[in-house]
């Protein structure tokens, strides 16, 4: 397999996704999320997953504008 820019991105993305999945499943404790005046009890892995998806979406939006 030739290691080009596309393959490097796939490998790095796969490693990061694997690490994120491990992080999510090791954090199942319930925590209180306080945002402005709202307080919600959620599992920590759900907050991590939502943050990751939001970060990915913002990154895609910023990449499209370039």
What pLDDT is attached to residue 5? 81
Average pLDDT of the chain is 86
What is the Cα–Cα distance from 56 to 9, expressed in whole angstroms?
Answer: 15
What pLDDT is attached to residue 65? 63
Domain count, the chain: 1
Query: Sorting pLDDT into bands at 50, 70 and 90, what band is 54?
Result: very high
Residues spanned by the domain of 47 = 5-65
Q: What is the pLDDT of residues 35-51, one digit of tens each?
A: 899 999 999 988 888 88
Q: At what angle do helices 44-65 and 5-25 cross, to 10 degrees?
A: 160
Examine the pLDDT at 60 and tell me if it is beyond 80: yes
pTM for the predicted model, two decimal places: 0.59
């Amino acid at each position: 397999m030739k290691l080009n820019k596309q393959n490097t991105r796939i490998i790095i993305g796969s490693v990061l996704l694997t690490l994120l999945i491990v992080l999510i499943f090791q954090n199942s404790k319930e925590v209180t999320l306080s945002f402005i005046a709202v307080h919600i009890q959620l599992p920590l892995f759900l907050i991590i997953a939502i943050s990751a998806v939001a970060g990915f979406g913002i990154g895609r939006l910023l990449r499209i504008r370039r």
